[in-house]
Amino acid sequence: MIKTVTVLGANGTMGSNVSGIFASFGGVKVYLVSRTIEKSKKAMANIASSVKADSVKKNLIPADYSMLEDCIRESDLIFESVAEDLDTKIKINNEISSWVDEDTIICTGSSGLSIKVLAEVFPENIRKNYLGVHFFNPPYNLTLCEIIPSEYTEKKLLNNMKDYVGSKLHRTVVQVTDSPAFLGNRIGFQFINETLQYAEKYKHKGGIDYIDSILGPFTGRSMPPLVTSNFVGLDVHQAIVDNLYDNTNDYAKESFIMPNFAVYLVNKGILGKKTNGGLYKTIVSNDGTKKYLVYDISLNEYREVKNYNLSFTNKMVDSLRVGDYNSAFNTLINDSSLEAKLCLEFLLKYVVYSLITSKYVGDSIHAADDVMAAGFGWCPPLGMVQALFGIENFVTLAEERLPEAIWNEVEIEQLFSDISSSKYDYRRFFQAKH
């Protein structure tokens, strides 16, 4: 029974949003621990507005690190949400370790560090209570929660936690293995980083906005992939793909290499929305009108975002507008333009990589569906198979259109042998928008 929770790093974006989830759906008392008590107090208003409920304020108690001992001693669960940096997290785990007792659950909100390494900071009798609980931002809108046990995590505690997060906190729970970037970010950033590589490859055709125009909301996502990267920031993007490049070794390894132009932007501090300038940039003039600019890789400067006016995207959007999904996907499959071919290839690769990865990282084939739908708002891979006319058609298309290198590593028949249909309705994910 969880009655009291301590959140460390409670004034950060994730820390405060997660505090809101515990204080609202969980209905528990939450100690907000930040560097100063003022920061924690300030976080309270944000927390209430993040869950749209002033009633949660009664559950929030601002604190600072000088009060950590008392907070921890009283808590049934500790949620660590400090900076995503191994040394910082090890240091904080050492502090937690000094005061925590044998019954307290300890969670890290890490988005991809090794849970095993982090668990080993604790003495053996405590390690069993440690696990990763990875929310997606903003959790009030994105319900995904990846739960990551380490090899030390006690089975009963893991099951209780899955149950609590699912039924009490109303999250979409997916248990994933302790592997780099876990499942959602691994699949998502494989896709996003490969689009970034293609932006460089096709820089003479327009680069960033060219690729985004091929893989926009009409392909089953709320925003184009490189707009997403710009939104989360190239620094975060880089941390995720570097981790994956260093620590994975499958056919997709090379797709985690960040292209040179993007590394250059990161080094110059040009990161994205948060620095108002990254892959995209918005300029607001004095009269309030907005101009959308994109970084042109060839020119090494910003220019206005172009309307590529691609025939296949126009046709798809027209079909989707009136709910004619079959006609939209027939257009995609039968259009002979380079752009339509690239688009379809990306969607096929997305499904194949998702299915393969969920076998190793997830607990079932539906894990990839859950993480992509509930964590990214993308059409889940099994939904994509359905949209592309079912398994049989999908397999034929994949064999025709995907590079042979993939099939050296994967038996496609085997990949699809134990698939059941998606529990998600694919239609809502395909927007009639460029």
Partner 1 sequence: MNNVYVLGGSQTDFQRNWSKEGKNEIALLKEAITDGLDDVGISFEDISQLNSKNKVAFYVGNFIAEEYIQQGHIGALITEVDSSFYGVPTARYEAACASGSVALDAAITKVKTGDYDVAIVVGWELMKTVNSKVGGDILGRAAYYEKEGKGIDFPFPKLFGKLADEIIEKYQLDEQRFMDSLSIISNKNYNNAKRNPLAQTRNWFMDLEQAKMRGTETNPSVGGRLAVSDCSQVTDGAAVVVLASEKYMKENYEKEFPIVKGYGHRVAPMLFEKKMKDNNNSPYILPWTRQAVEDAYNRSGLSVDDIDFFETHDCFTSSEYAAISAFGITDPGKEYEAIEKGITDFNGEKPINPSGGLIGSGHPVGASGVRMFLDLYKQLTNNAGSYQLEKSDNGMMLNIGGSATTNYAFILGKE
Pairing of strands 290-296, 77-80: unpaired
Cβ at position 312, least distance to partner 1 in Å? 17
Q: Which stretch, 127-135, 198-206, 303-311, 321-329, contacts partner 1 (CB under 8 A)?
A: 321-329
Q: Which of 13, 36, 49, 334 binds partner 1 (CB under 8 A)?
A: 49
Residue 267 CB coordination number (10 Å)? 10
Closest CA to 391 of 416, 409, 361, 360: 416
Query: Does residue 143 bind partner 1 (CB under 8 A)?
Result: yes
Per CB under 8 A, does 428 bind partner 1?
A: yes
DSSP line for 393-407: HHHHHHHHHS-HHHH
Q: Read out DSSP for 257-307? A: SPPHHHHHHHHTT--BGGGTBSSEEEEE-TTS-EEEEEEETTTTEEEEPP-
In whole angstroms, give the CA distance from residue 261 to residue 112. 25
Where does this chain touch partner 1 (CB under 8 A) — which range of 1-9, 268-276, 394-402, 426-434?
Answer: 426-434
> Letter for the amino acid at 366?
H
> Smaller CB distance to partner 1: residue 56 or 388?
56
- d(C-alpha 260, C-alpha 263), whole Å: 5
Q: Kindly tell me which of 128 and 221 has the beta carbon lying closer to partner 1.
A: 221
Interface segment toward partner 1; rule CB under 8 A; list 49-57, 188-196, 252-260, 365-373:
49-57
231-250 residues near partner 1, rule: CB under 8 A: none
309 touching partner 1, by CB under 8 A: no
Of 78-86, 138-146, 259-267, 333-341, the window that binds partner 1 (rule: CB under 8 A) is: 138-146
Q: Is 427 in the site for partner 1 (CB under 8 A)?
A: yes
The helix/strand/coil state of 51 is coil
Of 3, 38, 54, 396, the residue at the interface with partner 1 (CB under 8 A) is: 54
Phi-psi region of 430 (alpha: psi -120 to 50; beta: other; left: phi over 0): beta
Judge whether 363 and 371 are in contact, CB under 8 Å. Answer: no
Assess contact for 190 and 381: CB atoms under 8 A.
Answer: no
Q: Is 322 in the site for partner 1 (CB under 8 A)?
A: yes
Residue 321 binds partner 1 (CB under 8 A):
yes
Minimum gap (Å) between residue 24 Cβ and partner 1: 4
When binding is defined by CB under 8 A, the residue of 133, 158, 317, 343 that contacts partner 1 is 317
Could you list the residues that contact partner 1 (CB under 8 A)? 24-25, 27, 48-49, 51-56, 58, 140-141, 143, 170, 217, 317, 320-324, 425, 427-428, 430-433
